[in-house]
């Protein structure tokens, strides 16, 4: 999916400035790719599983549950590419590989925890809203 910046005219009374100073419309694509990475459910789970220290691949796979080997590999590789996870290979037989959060990865913990807390707090309201919507639209 190709995301691009769209300026929307809003009445002055409703305008809320949340963009960083010096924000340029062309920067939205870069931000979109970062948000896509950090907003991914597997990324969220991997970051939280690595919060307490390094883990091995199979340990992560067991802890997360439901993630395929391929998806975990892609997620870890993406996090490593973005500088949020460090991979250490130990020269043993068989080779041992540990994954751990970098300082950047640790800095993502707080926003993820805040979003998770928000979701837990508002889950009943959202469940009720969904039920009302489904009842109105005839969906199940």
In order, the DSSP letters of 73-112 are: HHHHHHHHHTTSEEEEEE--SS-EEEEEE-HHHHHTHHHH
pLDDT along the chain (140 residues), means of 10: 47 49 70 78 93 94 94 95 95 92 94 91 96 86
State pTM to two decimals: 0.72
Q: Residue 82: what pLDDT?
A: 93
Q: Spell out the domains of the chain, with CATH numbers in brackets.
A: 23-107 (1.10.10.10)
Q: Residue 14: what pLDDT?
A: 42
Q: Residue 25: what pLDDT?
A: 65
Q: What is the per-residue pLDDT across 95-104, written as a single tens digit (0 to 9) for each? A: 899 999 999 9
| Integer Cα distance of 53 and 40 in angstroms | 21
Q: Is the preceding peptide bond at 40 cis, omega within 30 degrees of 0?
A: no
């Amino acid at each position: 999916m190709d995301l691009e910046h769209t300026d929307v005219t809003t009445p002055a009374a409703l305008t809320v400035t949340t963009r960083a100073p010096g924000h340029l419309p062309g920067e939205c694509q870069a931000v979109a790719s970062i948000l896509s990475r950090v907003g991914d459910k597997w990324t969220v789970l991997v970051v939280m599983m690595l919060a307490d220290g390094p883990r091995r691949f199979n340990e992560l796979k067991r802890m997360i549950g439901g993630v395929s080997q391929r998806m975990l590999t892609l997620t870890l590789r993406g996090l490593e590419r973005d500088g949020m996870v460090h991979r250490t290979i130990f020269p043993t037989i068989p080779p041992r590989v540990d994954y751990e959060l970098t300082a950047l990865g640790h800095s993502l913990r707080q926003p993820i925890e805040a979003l998770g807390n928000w979701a837990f707090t508002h889950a009943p309201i959202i469940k009720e809203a969904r039920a009302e919507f489904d009842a109105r639209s005839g969906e199940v």
